[in-house]
Amino acid sequence: MDTRRLSMLSAILIGLGSMCGTDAGGMSDALSSPDHWVVCNRERAVCYDRYGASIGLTQAFLDQAAAERLTIALRAAPPPEPAGAEFSVADDVVCRREVGPCFVEGTPDPELTAVLYGPWPPTDRSNLGRLPVGIGWKWQESRYGNDTQVAPPDPARYVLYLENTGGLRIRADCNRAGGQWRLDGETLAVEIGPTTRAACEPGSLDSVFLRDLSAVFGFTEQGDHFFLDMRDGNGIGTMQFGR
């Protein structure tokens, strides 16, 4: 851990006062959790996910001014990016980027860890090799049970990235989202977490993309294509992705 850089970042962030959400398990009077896998620090006016301080989440759950202050802070002291690098969400509270856990005064804290990373310890990943993780899958189309379909004009603006930690990252046009995936036998569950709330251009399919992902229950990989089975109001549908 680069303690000098972390100390510098913490010093810049402390004092950006505001409020956010409801209390996050009482881990700290300053902390609250307005959504799954998000923790906001009232005193710093900064929101965090498993990757550290998030400009997008700060804007979504606080305001534009707080996001702009955070942008300046991160430019002045960029945080370390490797998985396992530590970041501070409050005084004496440190979490490990991507992989967890969180520590309160040097002791692992399962409650706060579950808020940012989901169930802890993490789910067994023995099935990991069955899923095409580590690839930015571009959405090509969704076909529904009533013989209708929808396709984005630019698949590169709709991307699903499955992480080997069980997390996921989503680009839905002008918005970004996080979440988790879980494989139970042949069933794949996708749970979408915090999502930015920007207003995309007219005709955007961002809400359709997120809706379809929320209905996923199975998958198939065929060469350069990845198919997700989903249950929609008209029966069974399929989302198709390409590399």
Shared domain for 135 and 236, answered yes or no, is yes
Examine residue 152 and state whether it is found in any structural domain, yes or no: yes
Question: According to the model, what pLDDT value does residue 121 have?
Answer: 57
Same structural domain, 77 and 172: no
Domain around 55: 3-117
Kindly write down the DSSP assignment for every residue of 120-185, as one continuous string: SSPPP-TTGGGS--S-EEEEEEEE-TTS-EE--S-GGGEEEEE-TTSEEEEEETTEEEEEEEEEET
Least confident range of 9-13, 115-119, 160-164, 171-175 = 9-13
- Is 122 among the domain residues? no
CA 177 to chain centre: 5
Number of domains in the chain: 2
> How many C-beta neighbours within 10 Å does residue 167 have?
23
Note whether residue 175 is domain-resident. yes
72 and 138 together in one domain = no
Is the pLDDT confidence value at 4 over 70? no
Cβ neighbours of residue 211 closer than 8 Å, sequence gap 6 or more: none
Which of 117, 141, 158 delimits the end of a domain? 117
Looking at residue 7, its pLDDT comes to: 39
Same domain, 204 and 163: yes
135: domain CATH number is: 2.40.128.270
The answer to whether residues 231 and 195 belong to one domain is yes
In a shared domain, residues 106 and 182: no
What secondary structure letter does DSSP report for 16? -
Residue type present at position 216 = V
Q: What residue ranges in 37-135 does DSSP mark as E strands?
A: 39-41, 46-49, 52-53, 86-90, 93-96, 102-104, 107-108
Q: For residues 137 and 64, state if they share a domain.
A: no
Same domain, 50 and 71: yes
**Whether residue 103 sits in one domain with residue 16:** yes
Average pLDDT, the chain: 81
Q: Within a domain: residue 236?
A: yes
Give the Cα separation of 216 and 238 in Å (integer).
9
Q: With a threshold of 0.75, does the pTM exceed it?
A: no
Which DSSP letter does residue 6 get? H
Q: How confident is the model over 107-163, as pLDDT tens digits?
A: 888 888 888 887 665 555 555 556 788 889 999 999 998 889 999 999 999 999 988
Mean pLDDT of 90-108: 88
Same domain, 55 and 151: no
Residues 52 and 135 in one domain: no
Main-chain phi, psi angles of 109, to 5 degrees: -120, 105
Answer yes or no: do 111 and 135 share one domain.
no
**Distance from chain centroid for Cα 99:** 13
- Position 123 in a domain: no
Residues 215-227 have pLDDT tens digits of 998 888 888 899 9
